[in-house]
Amino acid sequence: MARLAGRKALITGGASGIGLATAERFLAEGADVVVLDRDTVALERESIRLAARFASRCVGVEADVADVDSIAAGVEQALSTTGRIDILVNAAGVNVFGDPLELDRETWRRCLAINLEGAWHMIQALLPGMLAARYGHIVNIASVHGHKIVPGAFPYPVAKHGLIGLTRSLGIEYADRGIRVNSISPGLIRTPAADAWLAQCDEQERQRQVELLPCKRLGEADEVANTALFLASDEARFINATDILIDGGRSQVYHL
């Protein structure tokens, strides 16, 4: 039997990168999936492609997780289509790196709004339905930056530390009411954002980044998606308030 047969999932940032890989994996395992994204072009392209591939069990919803009103409208549209949401994957995120003293207020707010508050507002919108059903799995995509600090990466680690804290806090808060909340902390994963950053580096720096990884290769988005699938399934029913690192071992050797 498919591992998510009969389940209904919503994935933010689902039109690209880790979110898209997770949507494909969930669909392959029998879930009905709502792909939520603010990129209208990518959303239309990928939702049509996925719906055609998986017998129309995928629907795209345009929403911006940095905007509470947009979230409310997006969730309302999702629920009108699916009736309920059993699984929420908060994969929407944005890299924000800068000098702390030169960082303007708007950039600071954007980082927190997308990388931390967006996840909370999505949970806040869907949690009542999960509590009523006494069933719900939430997976937040955090980052290795939520564990180790790299110079020049501020304020991104602030938001990702907060997201891991949110995961643990809510996981404990609702553990006895049928809700599980876990997070995944990817390292350097081959996504459009990572590819764009690496493209700006010279060949020597690109090779250095690979050599820093104990496994000597970048991670793939589907490797993160496989972990999200496990955490979202009933196979992981005794895993709660936990973060799983997927970084090829890099976080163990950050002093190098």
Active site residues: 156
- CA-to-CA distance for 125 and 118, rounded, in angstroms? 11
Query: Which tokens hold the place of 65?
Result: 């997780």
Three-state helix/strand/coil letters over 214-226: CCCCCEEHHHHHH
Task: Give the residue from 56, 120, 64 showing the smallest Cα distance to 88.
Answer: 120
